Chains A and B, each alone.
Chain A
Amino acid sequence: MNVEQAMDIRQQRILAALENKNTSVQFDDALENEMILNMGPQHPATHGVLRLLIKLDGETVVACVPELGYLHRGYEKLAENCSYHEFIPHTDRLDYLSPLMNNTAYVLAVEKLIGIEAPKRAQYLRVIISELARISSHLLGVGALAMDVGALTVFTWAFREREKMYDIFELLTGARFTTSFTRVGGLAHDMTPEVRSAIQQFIDQLPEKFTEMINMLNTNRIFVERMDGVGVISKEQAVAIGLCGPNIRGVGIEHDLRRAEPYLVYNELDFNIPVFEGGDCLSRYYVRINEVKESIKIVRQCLEKIPNGPIHANEPKKVLPRKDRIYTKMEELIHDFMLINFGVNPPVGEVYHAVEGSKGELGFYIQSRGEGHPWRLKIRSPSFMNLQATPMLVEGGMISDIVAVLGSLDPVMGEADK
């Protein structure tokens, strides 16, 4: 008898027992059977709407099949039907824990396609917002991981820090969550001195609070034992299955696109790439907490080095003009009209540009046919590729380790499902 038939017979017996109002149900071999467990899509530890079908032998995971698509909104189809500028707000909704990073990644791909470059000040600002987004994403990643394995306090402490960041984002972009801050060839607004001092103040107080937070975890025996040696993956397996971001650095491979293919001004900045050899949940966690420290370092350097100057590239036919000039200057009014109605019209061609996002390699592949909207836009989402390794990591382990593995992979379903 296979498992399906056994399940059918069980179900029939339970239904029959209910109809007879007989509450006692008996099974021949209750302890001999394998059990199929459906985890998610509505499960707090799946960080969204991920569904895992798990086959259990007692408490050991025999097989695991992830099912995606519960948050599929068809952004790639939408992208084909809106102009390059109109797609920027949609990128906020991909990895909704670091929208500023997605905004930056998308416009960098479009700029590569058009062949323009944002001025230095805009590039520094983009680095600042990307690293702030990375800090915010990792804070949530670490906090949620701790919550999944039973330490609730760290989660609330992480959210306290993220709350301060959201206040900064609101000051900088006008929105807390869906920022839509970047523009092709520049940014929506410049950084005011007020925002600058708010960021400075935030990164000055963050190391102390962050150390306080991670000390709670690093010296917590329960937390470390739940993570150490759980969900192990080897170097070769990790590369073959396409792990990216902090997860691949957690197996001892120094792969970081900020160093491998420097974009923006990362080659002018001094930072380290944290690498841990273990390949288990604890190593991935250590990579994340060390990356927060490096990001703080990067933001601090950028605030010192950021030059004055324009934040828009001087390409009137490609870059949206400033609002006040549209109302007063004829040329700008014409350019704005043309850009809004017909788009930026990049040359015929195709580009792929990837950045080191908070979850891993976040890439945009764009095919252009010279029109105002992309012919094909593919989002290479890091969470999607990271989730692919879930069966490899959880099979053979205990069922309670699944939450630790998922938390340490740190997937975001908005990005994985597109």
Chain B
Amino acid sequence: MLTTVVEKLKSNFPNSILDVKEFRGEITIHVKKEDIVPVCTFLRDDTSCTFDYCSDICGADAYTAENRFEVIYNLYSIPLKQRIRLKVFVDESDLHCPSVTSVWPAAEWPERETYDMIGVYFDGNKDMRRMYMPEEFEYYPLRKDFPMMGIPDSIPLPRK
């Protein structure tokens, strides 16, 4: 069933699909950053895909010189009971990524969380504040160059 999804995506977006990987029966599709919104809209609306449920969005720091950050979309289809994973690379020189809140409103908080943790800014998300950390915090804790013990004095103590 998932192979038809991949075939359909490849025929409809020949230039946007960069790579398709399979591991433990799960399919990961690398999508060009600029085309993530049309691809997601297609996946939601096409009758043989119907990925109507945005299960999760998260970011990862690959810690490489090029394409350092990844944004990962775990999608689920409630009618067809299938899963797919999309992946977008975000380079350190341009930390912007199109938001998919117009496709799934559920993406709003996970995108905020990704911004808070990794520092990828989602264009089009209406409420791009930090999710967990204080607003004045200047670091992104899940980047690999952020030390595990934290940075002293990075969070101000309350005034007496």
Contact = CB atoms under 8 A, between A and B. Distances in A.
A68 B108 CA distance: 14
A129 B134 CA distance: 37
A363 B142 contact: no
Interface residues of B, number: 34
B131 A69 contact: yes
Given A69-B131, A240-B105, A240-B106, A255 B55 contact: no
B118 to A, nearest CB: 10
A378 B113 CA distance: 11
A361 interface: yes
Nearest to A369: B62
Interface string B77-121: 010010101000000000000000000111011000100010000
A351 B83 CA distance: 11
B8 to A, nearest CB: 22
Contacts of A239: 52-53, 78
A380 B109 CA distance: 12
Contact of A72 (B72, B74, B85, B133): B133
B117 A242 contact: no
Contacts of A115: 24
Nearest to A418: B132
B24 A349 contact: yes
Interface stretch (A17-25, A74-82, A272-280): A74-82
Contacts of B39: none
Contact of A384 (B109, B142, B146): B109
A81 B148 contact: yes
Interface string B142-157: 1000101000000000
Question: Which secondary structure dominates where chain A touches chain B?
Answer: mixed
Contacts of A354: 55
Given A349-B23, A354-B55, A365-B56, A242 B132 contact: no
Nearest to A72: B132
Interface in A188-244: 239-242
Contacts of A361: 55
Interface residues of A, number: 38
Contacts of B132: 68-69, 72, 417-418
B23 A385 contact: no
B106 A385 contact: yes
Nearest to B103: A240
Given A74-B141, A351-B23, A378-B58, A388 B106 contact: yes
A349 B21 CA distance: 10
Given A76-B117, A242-B53, A242-B54, A365 B72 contact: yes
Nearest to A73: B132
A350 B23 contact: yes
A173 interface: no
Contact of B105 (A241, A255, A349, A378): A241
B58 to A, nearest CB: 4
Given A112-B24, A239-B52, A388-B106, A352 B74 contact: yes
B26 interface: yes
Nearest to A348: B23
A69 B58 CA distance: 17
B85 A352 contact: yes
Nearest to A259: B81
A112 B26 CA distance: 11
A255 B78 contact: yes
Interface string A133-169: 0000000000000000000000000000000000000
11 contacts: A72-B132, A76-B117, A115-B24, A240-B106, A255-B78, A352-B83, A352-B85, A361-B55, A375-B60, A376-B142, A388-B106
Given A242-B55, A363-B55, A365-B72, 6 more contacts: A72-B132, A113-B24, A352-B26, A354-B55, A378-B60, A380-B55
Interface of A: 68-69, 72, 74, 76-78, 80-81, 112-113, 115, 239-242, 253, 255, 260-261, 349-352, 354, 361, 363, 365, 367, 375-376, 378, 380, 384-385, 388, 417-418
Top 3 nearest A-B pairs by Cβ distance? A242-B106, A69-B132, A349-B23
